[in-house]
């Protein structure tokens, strides 16, 4: 699946589907903050399906939608796209940007966990 930019509403719908695993259009509508019209939700689900991000199954008289790709795989694909597109394929530049943007918000524990991840990656790379 090619990384796609989602509209705000598409992101909301994908988040609901990832949280629930699957949902009908009416269930998505109920879970949305400042929800649009029901027909809009159905149209967005159809667009997400056409883009290859969700699929549906018939359950009785309704369609039930589910993400095509699991959340972890989708995250990795999005991060790879971000790194390739904006950081010249340099994870180092990504980490530098993240630290620059969020340095004041990161707790000591978060920084320690990140440091531990880096140390583990070094060990695995040997």
Residue 1 has a pLDDT of: 46
Q: By C-alpha distance, which of 69, 73, 53 is closest to 4?
A: 53
- Domain check: are 60 and 106 in the same one? no
Residue 54 pairs with which residues in a beta bridge?
A: 67
Q: Which residues, 6+ apart, have CB-to-CB distance to 4 below 8 Å?
A: 51, 53
More confident residue, 3 or 75: 75
Per-residue pLDDT tens digits for 81-110: 888 888 888 888 888 887 887 667 888 898
Number of domains in the chain: 2
pTM attached to this predicted model: 0.67
Whole-angstrom Cα distance, residue 67 to residue 4?
Answer: 14
Q: Which of 68, 98, 95, 94 is nearest to 81 (CA)?
A: 94
User: How many Cα atoms occupy the beta-carbon half-sphere of 6 within 13 Å?
Assistant: 20
Flag whether 104 is in a domain.
yes
Verify that 93 and 63 share a domain, yes or no.
Answer: no
Q: Do 63 and 20 share a structural domain?
A: yes
100, 92 Cβ separation under 8 angstroms: no
Q: What is the mean pLDDT of the chain?
A: 88
Together in a domain, 52 and 13: yes
Helix (H, G, I), strand (E, B) or coil at 57: strand
Q: Which domain holds residue 111?
A: 87-125
The reply to whether 82 falls in a domain is no
What is the mean predicted confidence (pLDDT) over 66-92? 85
């Amino acid at each position: 699946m090619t990384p796609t930019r989602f509209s705000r509403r598409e992101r909301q719908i994908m988040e609901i589907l990832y949280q629930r695993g699957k949902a009908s259009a009416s269930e998505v509508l109920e879970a949305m903050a400042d929800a649009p019209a029901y027909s809009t939700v159905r149209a967005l689900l159809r667009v997400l399906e056409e883009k290859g991000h969700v699929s549906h199954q018939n359950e009785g008289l309704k369609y039930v939608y589910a993400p095509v790709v699991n959340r972890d795989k989708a995250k990795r694909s999005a991060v790879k796209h971000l790194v390739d597109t904006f950081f010249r394929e340099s994870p180092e530049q990504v980490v530098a940007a993240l630290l620059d943007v969020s340095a004041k918000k990161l707790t000591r524990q978060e920084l320690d966990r990140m440091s531990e991840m880096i140390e583990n990656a070094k060990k695995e790379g040997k």
